[in-house]
Structure 1
Amino acid sequence: MDLFLPSWAALRTAVADLSDKDFEQPSGCAGWLVRDLACHLVIDAQDVLITLVTPADAEPTVDAVTYWKVGGEPPTGDDPLDALIVRLAAAYEDPALLKFHLDDVGAAAGRAAELADPGARVTTQDEVLTVGDYLSAYVLEWTLHHLDLVAHLPHVPGPSDASLARTRELLEAIAGFAFPASFGDTDALLVGTGRRAPTDAERTELGALAEKLPLVIG
């Protein structure tokens, strides 16, 4: 949970420092430009705010690991919701407006997370979990999308080593297996989630695990 705020702040700072030209570059999300990804982050921030003010009395049904579901095909950008994000992002026209909206809603989500009781229970997507587990789960969301943001922007700082390491731990727990030690954290996350194909050498290292990839999580 301690990594929620710094990972979210680092991602928002990276977006805030982008040039207008950067917003027109492809992101690591299939079918999305960087501006589309930034628009998706606004929706993510809204989801955090909504969840943190949606208390639950029932016992938790999921934790930071089981919150994530594995299955389906890798996204192509053709899903109706994905296509809606593209239209919403285009409506901003001026990247400065998108930056402002993300900073405004994103800062509010950060403050709400900081003030929330980690032991309180909340509900989202028909599941119940503690605030602590919910915010811990979102470290994976922020870190993967930070990698998506910088996929074609090598001049933009990426996620911290701590965020990468924790997200790898989460992904391995979700998968039920560990990636080879020869894989760096970034490579494990990119290959593991299908954001890039493994090299021949990496496929050899993975062995039978290669058949279990990619892990499409959502």
Structure 2
Amino acid sequence: MDDFSRSWTALRTAVAGLSDEDFGRPSGCAGWLVRDLVCHLVIDAQDVLITLVTPVEAEPTRDAVTYWDIVEPPTGDDPLDALVVRLAAAYGEPWLLKFHLDDVGSAAGRAAGLADRALRVGTRDQVLTAGDYLAAYVLEWTLHHLDLIAHLPAAAEPPYEGLARSRELLERIAGAQFPATFSDTDALLIGTGRRTASGEQAAELGELAERLPFVLG
């Protein structure tokens, strides 16, 4: 939960520090501007709140690793993605998005801090402990933090603890390890297809390069 709180707080702080102009810049999510990504984070925060107040009695079916599935790369036809873009535009002023993320995001952070790790919760037709659910979201926050700052070189990077934990999760999800010479950021960006490996990096990846990207859903 410390990693969840640290990563989520850092991401919300980075959003709070954006200028109005930054919201119109591209993000690391293909086809999304920064404002679209921030709108998605509002929805993510709502999902965290909903999940943490949806206790179930059934045995867990997933954990922090198996929560994620490796899926086909997006085609751009997902209606939910299109909805996010329209919803983000409807906010009009960047300060409204900032306010909403701070409001809902702070509540999600408090709920996470109060949650019993052993509590079983339901989401996406699966059952996890609250501890595993929040651990899985460290990867979500870290990847989206990297997306947020992809074209904002002056913005703060994700916490190193979250980067290391996210790399570990991605490697366990994929059942493969990235070269030790790769930084955690390189492993995450190249591993999920957010960055193309250089020739040297591709050579180090070897056969693993043929399996990339690992798109998570």
Partner of 2:117 in structure 1?
118
Distance 1:151 1:130 in 2: 32
Instruction: Report the AA paired with residue 16 of structure 1.
Output: A
Cα deviation code 1:169-208 (max 9, x no counterpart): 0000000010000111000000000001111111000000
Cα deviation code 1:117-161 (max 9, x no counterpart): 000100000000000000000000000000000000001101011
Question: Aligned residue pairs: how many?
Answer: 217
Three-state SS of the structure 2 residue aligned to 1:3 is helix
Distance 1:171 1:76 in 2: 22
Partner of 2:193 in structure 1?
194
Identity %: 73
Distance 1:78 1:143 in 2: 25
Partner of 1:38 in structure 2?
38
Displacement of 1:80 in angstroms is 1.1
Alignment of structure 1 residues 164-183 onto 2, 5 Å: 164-183=163-182
Contact 1:143–1:164 (Cα < 8 Å) also in 2: yes
Instruction: Report the AA paired with residue 25 of structure 2.
Output: Q
Partner of 2:153 in structure 1?
154
Partner of 2:24 in structure 1?
24
Structure 1: where are the runs of 5+ without partners? none
Partner of 2:53 in structure 1?
53
Cα deviation code 1:37-89 (max 9, x no counterpart): 0000000000000000000100000000000000212x354421111100000
Three-state SS of the structure 2 residue aligned to 1:154 is coil
Three-state SS of the structure 1 residue aligned to 2:71 is coil
Alignment of structure 1 residues 96-115 onto 2, 5 Å: 96-115=95-114
Structure 2: where are the runs of 5+ without partners? none
What's the C-alpha RMSD, in Å, of the aligned pairs?
A: 0.7
Distance 1:137 1:109 in 2: 15
Partner of 1:68 in structure 2?
68
Three-state SS of the structure 2 residue aligned to 1:145 is helix
Say yes or no: does 1:214 pair with 2:213: yes
Partner of 1:92 in structure 2?
91
Say yes or no: does 1:137 pair with 2:136: yes
